[in-house]
Structures are given as structure tokens and as C-alpha cells.
A and B are shown apart, each in its own frame.
Chain A
């Protein structure tokens, strides 16, 4: 079913690296608050729905074997056990995405299905993702755009996703572990449009270690609004009718706190509202 722009928009939110289970994640609440406050600031009322996409339980299922080993290793030492469990969860999430494992494919399929549910019901969809979630989001959109039956050039009614917002993304990291790229470059497919472009707004903080790849939080070198993601994907997106906008933002926070501060940035809320209704 083509998109009906009079129907309430669906904002699909994809979280990043997490510990715990899906029930612990409040990315939907955070984005809802950003949107509601942005609407209130401008005295606007709009109908929309925030839809959470969760994959932590898939990751946890895949990491069950390693968690059992850590449990065995830490018998009698609950502190060590907790620490090891956290390491397996966090590092495991990254390795799962990096190695493009069957679990990563399963997660992308699940995300595509979630997007299609909203699209098939005629809702315009905006994808908002954070951290590792940006890797799944970009790859899922790329896979969907490569199909013939959707994303038909200038006809936005055939776009299952109207735009992408990424925050604190590691997509710009050109890191290698042995022969394995940690975040292999995603192949950006052409939109095949004459007038339209696919909008992608990328928000980054120079002090965010996930953006810079520097574990000590040293600021990443940027040029204006061009950060690591724009450097890595700028040419490819321009060549394929995507419009990638980089946005350097600040939060008064450093290191990992800078990585989580995007969820409370009102300028990102204003952007979401403008993309949906402006």
C-alpha cells in the first residue's frame, strides 16, 4: 500500500549497544519526549506514533553460550560474574554487527519487517537510530532500496522510509581487527530519482568516543559539519541521490556521557518535527 501522507507518521526508533534486555531500553520514551517538547515549543499539535525496534533479545540469545561460560568462570565471585556478563553483552553486540553474522542478518530482517508493517498500513516512516543501531538502520535501508518494488525514484509514496536520522554513529570508523573490518562500508544503492533525494541527517559530538574511535574521548578532527561519517559516505551518497547532512552538536558532556546526550538534544527534536511536518 502506498504511503498516505495524511496518516499519522511512525517514528521507528533503533537503539544502540545495550546491556540487559529489551524491557530495559527506553529509547522510545526519549524520542517521544523530544518530539512532544519540540511540538510544544512551537505550539503545534500533530498525530504520530513512536515505534520501538528492539534486538537485544536476539543478541542475548546468540550470546547465551558465551554467557554460560562466563558464569562457569565466575562461580563464587558475583562481582567478576557481573563484569564478565556486561563485557560479553556489550562487546558481543558490536562483534555481531561487525562480523555480519547470521544474527546481524536476523536483526536486519526483523527491522525491515517492522518498517514494512508501518509502510503496508500506509504510514510515513522516519527512522531514528543511535550508536550501533545506526549500522543496522543504514544497512537495512540500503537492502530495501536495492529492491525493485519499493523506493521507486521520485515517487515518495513508494518509500517505506522517508528519511534517516543517526546519532552517535560508529559508521565513520574505518577500523580493522586483523583482516576483519569492524564496520565494513555499506554499499549505498542509487535512489534512481530525478528530483528527489533521500535525506540522511547525522548528528555527532566530537567528544563521543563511539564517533571518534578514541577510547579516551579525545576530540575527533572535523571540518565544519563534516565528521567521520560524512568523510566516509559523502561521495557515495551524493552519487546515488542521497542527501547526507552532518551536524556537529555539543552537550556539555564528555566521553560516554557525550554518547548518550543526543537523546535529550532539543535541536534533534526540532529536526524530527521539521522532517515530518515542515
Chain B
């Protein structure tokens, strides 16, 4: 029984060894609704290697997480057809800014209430909105925040566009999260 368990465990370990796992990350800062700069980081995971039967396999997470010190993380999710990453609105959110054609953020004169699931943020590179598959190392992503929420003022960073550092790729075992962003980087 012990031998069989060991054999099964070895086989499963062998299967996992075929695909390498990477965390992609990009550090930056955002401004919170009280005007304070906060350390922030984008991160997501990618499988890259070969399947157990030898076929090449590369697959990124479909979404990217934005960690912000002292507030809850936000997820920028890919669309059903590989559309660019989007931070989706939730109950009671207002659209207070918009992306113009060159991915600059313009504040709106009159905020409008959004239905849940609308666009509240984007990630772009060189003025072009991107999916997670298009985010590769050395690119410098920009994060646009377009919404606020009056009953939950800390839900989003202050509306605006934030430029992040070049993307880095780190080989990880399992799904290792980034280090503590509040202490490891200074705003």
C-alpha cells in the first residue's frame, strides 16, 4: 500500500514537472481617495512548458490582480473572446472618468451610475488596451481607474492613470504570491 502510494505520488510529481510555472509582476504606486500614495503591484501566473504527453503548452491566467497597500485587491478580468483586461463595476459604482483614444484619462463633468459589470478600469501598453496574453516581460503597463463609489470610498484608487514598472517574470513553485508590497517597496 505504501509502495503504491509512493508510486502514485512520484507519477503525479513527474506530471507537474513538465510545466513550469511563472509569476509575472509589475510594481507601481497609486493614489488613494485621501490623496495618499500607496504601493501597488500587478501580478498573474503563467504555465509554460510541455504537457505530460509532450505537447507544448503556454497558458496565462485570464485575469490580472492589482494589489494595493491598505485596500482590497482588484481583479482586471479578460473577456469571453480574449478582449482586453477590464476592471468590472459593482453595485453603486459611478463612472467619473474615461479613457480617450490615446489611453489618457479624462475626468467627466457629470458622473454617471453604472450597472454592475461595466468598465471601471483598464490596463494598457503604449496607448493600447491589452489582454493578459499580451503582457510580456519588459513592457511597462499603465493602469486606468475610471470609477468611484460614494458609499464605499476605498473601493478603488483615485480615478486616473498610473504607470507601472517593466514587467518581471519569476519562476515559482505552486502559486506563490508576491512579497508584502507594503514593506518591500516604498511609495
Q: Using a CB–CB distance below 8 Å, which chain A residues touch chain B?
A: 37-38, 40-44, 79, 82, 156, 195-197, 199, 206-207, 216-219, 223-226, 230, 234, 243, 245-257, 261, 264-267, 270-271, 273-274, 277-278
B138 on the A face (CB < 8 A): no
Neighbour of B19 across the interface among A226, A252, A264, A267, CB < 8 A: A252
CB pair B52–A217 under 8 Å, yes or no, is yes
Q: Using a CB–CB distance below 8 Å, which chain B residues touch chain A?
A: 1, 12, 15-16, 18-21, 43-47, 51-53, 57, 59-63, 65, 67-75, 77-83, 88, 90-91, 115-117, 131, 152, 155, 172-178, 180-182
Cβ–Cβ < 8 Å partners of B72 in chain A:
42, 44, 270, 273-274, 277-278
Q: How far is the CA of A273 from the CA of B71 in the complex (A)?
A: 10
A-B contact pairs, 26 of them (CB 8 A): A207-B47, A207-B51, A219-B59, A224-B62, A224-B78, A224-B79, A224-B81, A225-B78, A226-B81, A247-B62, A248-B61, A250-B21, A250-B46, A250-B59, A251-B45, A251-B174, A252-B21, A252-B175, A253-B15, A253-B16, A254-B51, A261-B175, A267-B65, A267-B175, A270-B72, A270-B75
Q: How far is the CA of A243 from the CA of B61 in the complex (A)?
A: 20
Cβ–Cβ < 8 Å partners of B69 in chain A:
42-43
Cβ–Cβ < 8 Å partners of B73 in chain A:
38, 41-42, 270-271, 273-274, 278
CB pair A278–B155 under 8 Å, yes or no, is yes
Cβ–Cβ < 8 Å partners of B63 in chain A:
225, 247, 267
Q: Which of A206, A225, A226, A245 has most B Cβ within 10 Å?
A: A225
Given A41-B181, A278-B71, 15 more contacts at CB 8 Å?
Answer: A42-B70, A196-B116, A216-B53, A224-B82, A247-B77, A248-B59, A252-B21, A253-B15, A254-B16, A254-B51, A255-B12, A264-B175, A274-B72, A274-B74, A278-B72
Neighbour of B175 across the interface among A197, A223, A256, A266, CB < 8 A: A266
Cβ–Cβ < 8 Å partners of A44 in chain B:
70-72
CB pair A43–B70 under 8 Å, yes or no, is yes
- Where chain B touches its partner, the secondary structure class is loop
Looking at the assembled complex, report how far the CB atom of A270 sits from the nearest CB atom of chain B, in whole angstroms: 4
- Where chain A touches its partner, the secondary structure class is mixed
CB pair B61–A249 under 8 Å, yes or no, is yes
Neighbour of A37 across the interface among B20, B117, B177, CB < 8 A: B177
Q: Which of B20, B77, B83, B182 has most A Cβ within 10 Å?
A: B77
Q: How far is the CA of A253 from the CA of B174 in the complex (A)?
A: 8
Residue of B nearest to A79 (CB): B1
The 7 A-B residue pairs with the shortest CB-CB distance, nearest first, are A252-B21, A266-B177, A270-B73, A278-B72, A226-B80, A224-B82, A225-B62
CB pair B67–A42 under 8 Å, yes or no, is yes
Cβ–Cβ < 8 Å partners of B59 in chain A:
206, 219, 248, 250
Cβ–Cβ < 8 Å partners of A246 in chain B:
62, 80
Looking at the assembled complex, report how far the CB atom of B143 sits from the nearest CB atom of chain A, in whole angstroms: 16
CB pair A264–B174 under 8 Å, yes or no, is yes
Q: Which of A41, A197, A252, A265 has most B Cβ within 10 Å?
A: A252
Given A224-B81, A225-B80, A253-B16, the answer on whether A40 and B21 have CB atoms closer than 8 Å is no
Neighbour of B12 across the interface among A250, A251, A256, A277, CB < 8 A: A256
CB pair A219–B70 under 8 Å, yes or no, is no
CB pair B15–A254 under 8 Å, yes or no, is yes
CB pair A254–B18 under 8 Å, yes or no, is yes
Given A44-B72, A261-B175, the answer on whether A249 and B81 have CB atoms closer than 8 Å is no
CB pair B180–A40 under 8 Å, yes or no, is yes
Cβ–Cβ < 8 Å partners of A230 in chain B:
80
